[in-house]
Structure 1
Amino acid sequence: MAVQIYHPFSNFNFSNTKCFLTGQPLSSTEEKIQVFPAWLMSLYNLQDQPFKLLDESIATYKDLKIPCSAVINETYLEPLETEIAEAFAKGYEGVKALDEHRLFLWVAKLMYGIIFNELQAGIKMQHTQGEEFNISQSIIHKFSHLHLMLQSINLPIQFEDFKPYSLFLFKVDNNEKEFGYRDEINTQTFALRIKDFGLVMCLQDNGANGSYHRELFDKIKDETLHPIQFEEFSGRVFYSNYLFNRLPEYEVMPLGEDIFIEAMPLRGFNSKPLFDEWMNKTYGQVLENFWKNWGFLLLEIIKNPNQPMSFLFNPDGSPITAASIELPR
């Protein structure tokens, strides 16, 4: 029997009666797993911390759950969580040694779990107001492809000579008690800064942001960063992924027992650059948000509109060392 891909966006079924990953009927609506894994929540006492959803409602980290078959969880998701937890426990070196695709699957599962909760909240709110749930086709396009790629955890899906993501990993001199987490679900950008590392991932760009920032990344990837330096780099990536103006397309080809996914060229027939024009004022607003811990304001950040404030490089382009930064971690 041919392998069946599950397409939840074809009929928009986000109830608690079906497994989020396979669409299999569940024995109970209580058959769920946590979006943020228990091991991570316990490390940083996140269980009762507030988590703000897009509709402005406040949940807690432990409130965020997704319906999942016990068999799927035990067979595929729990082993992944164990693998990631063990790697994270070793810090930067453990994460660096991880298989990148396994890390992608873990981030994708977490991101899709948040998306699932956002969709449920949005559908509920629209129905309460007597309206049909409405969401843009481009967002559905992105979300459905993320879900397709997430199914490579339980289906024999092969990626044909491409990675669907860009990944940036750094050693960071963090405050050991801090849980630094950030996401942007519309662009599918993710950042996590804990222990002695920080990682940023763009989940649906086919490596475009990796190429866009390659020169900068190569200059600092082997350095231990101050947290404000990591947040600056994160801000650059979150902003560039906002500027990324393509919707990646894929060819899905069943072949024997396997399913092959091939990425269509991002440029296609479009001569327009892959990224819209970088605007320093908008980037400064992003930085102001990412630098909240240190209280820098937009006017300070873009005092020189042509060269926003940086803790990564001096005005002459020379790198700034983490040890020379006199700010709290």
Structure 2
Amino acid sequence: MSFPFYNPFENIFLDSKTCFLTGVDLPDENHGVNIFPDWILDRFELRGKTFTMMDQVSSFLYEDLKLPCSSGVEEAFANLEEDIQNVFALGYEGVRTVDTHKLFLWMGKIVYGILYHDLLIEKERLRKLDKEFSLSPRLKERFSLFHLMLQSLVSPVSFKGVKPWSVSVVRLKYSKDIFNYRDDPVRLMFSLGMNGFGIIACLQDNGMVQQHQEGILKKIGNIELHPIQFEELCARFYYSNYLLATRPRYNMEEDHSGGITIEAVAGDNGEENPKFEKWDEKMFARVLAGYWEPWGLKINDIITVPNDPISFLINEYTEAFISPDTIRLPF
């Protein structure tokens, strides 16, 4: 007998009285889990601060961003939070050794939570215009698979071989204790800088984006990055994910108890049909401008015809890694 897996994207069902993860009915709307955990909200004093949504108009207080869930799911996330909090307290050395499945679940809950509210906002906007809310088949498939993988927190979903996600962890130096978070819920991207480490995760790339940036990751190694270098690395990952031309594919096997084992299929389309669309330096410069805004760098500072965008990671003449100690910009 198959396990009753829940797929809210089959009919795009997002309801405050239904557990977002398992689909069970809730007694009221007060059963929920914080999208950003309590320990993050308290450590970085975020409870009363606002989080701007994808439409760049709507916003929520961090403490009001929640996902409806059952007590069982809430307990499972509480146990996960305890593990992640302990690991994050150790900084880079702790985070680089943690099971990436745990990191996927922790990051995935945040990204899914933001996506959940973004979809509700768009659904309400269209309702006011008497229009029907819908998703493309591609997005339905992407979000459904993402949701199924998140169910591995409490349901018989397991993984083998190549993982559906990639997680890159680097050393990072900040001048103060900050929570530097970015996401792209539609493309399932996550990045975070805090406590001496930076994480960049593609939550459904089958490792292809990380492999695409393998050269720069090897040059970085265990070097402690300047924040502007980390932002450039994030921009490289986010732009590479945007250019990903190969559709992530999966083999799914059902076991005798009805559970599912997921194995990512490593994509290789050959030279005539590459995994990534062509890299456009001008477009990448625009991406960089968004990441380097804290340092006041504009698009005209980043790229000048016929030159490629400036880089704080790689010397354009020698291809060598740029030492963070040579960068004379604020931390």
Counterparts of residues 1-329 of structure 1 (less than 5 Å): 2-55=2-55, 56-74=57-75, 76-257=76-257, 258-267=259-268, 271-303=272-304, 305-315=306-316, 316-329=318-331
1:63-96 deviation line (CA, Å, top 9, x unaligned): 211100012211x111001111111111111211
Contact 1:192/1:200 (CA < 8 Å) preserved in 2? yes
- Give the percent of matched residue pairs that are identical in Structure 1 and Structure 2: 37
Distance in 1 separating the partners of 2:266 and 2:314? 34
Contact 1:176/1:194 (CA < 8 Å) preserved in 2? no
SS at match of 1:10: coil
SS at match of 2:183: strand
SS at match of 2:321: coil
Deviation at 1:105, TM superposition (A): 1.0
Distance in 2 separating the partners of 1:45 and 1:173? 20
Contact 1:193/1:199 (CA < 8 Å) preserved in 2? yes
- Cα pair distance change 1:99/1:24, threshold 3 Å: same
Normalising by structure 1, report the TM-score: 0.95
Normalising by structure 2, report the TM-score: 0.95
1:101-128 deviation line (CA, Å, top 9, x unaligned): 1011111111111111111111122112
Distance in 2 separating the partners of 1:215 and 1:6? 39
- Cα pair distance change 1:126/1:184, threshold 3 Å: same
Deviation at 1:263, TM superposition (A): 2.8
Contact 1:123/1:133 (CA < 8 Å) preserved in 2? yes
Deviation at 1:255, TM superposition (A): 0.9
Considering only aligned residues, what root-mean-square deviation do their CA atoms show, in Å? 1.6
SS at match of 1:158: strand
Distance in 2 separating the partners of 1:269 and 1:22? 39
SS at match of 1:206: coil
AA at the equivalent of 1:68 = C
AA at the equivalent of 2:297 = F
Q: Which moved more, 1:65-74 or 1:131-140?
A: 131-140
1:163-211 deviation line (CA, Å, top 9, x unaligned): 1112111110113332211111121111101111111001110000111
Q: Which moved more, 1:238-247 or 1:260-269?
A: 260-269
Which segments of 5 or more consecutive residues in structure 1 lack a partner in the other structure? Answer: none
Deviation at 1:266, TM superposition (A): 2.7
Equivalent residue pairs, number: 328
Q: Which moved more, 1:78-87 or 1:309-318?
A: 309-318
- Cα pair distance change 1:195/1:176, threshold 3 Å: farther
Contact 1:285/1:298 (CA < 8 Å) preserved in 2? yes
Question: Structure 1 stretches (4+) deviating beyond 3 angstroms?
Answer: 267-271
Q: Which moved more, 1:148-157 or 1:276-285?
A: 148-157
Contact 1:18/1:25 (CA < 8 Å) preserved in 2? yes
- Cα pair distance change 1:45/1:253, threshold 3 Å: same
AA at the equivalent of 1:322 = P
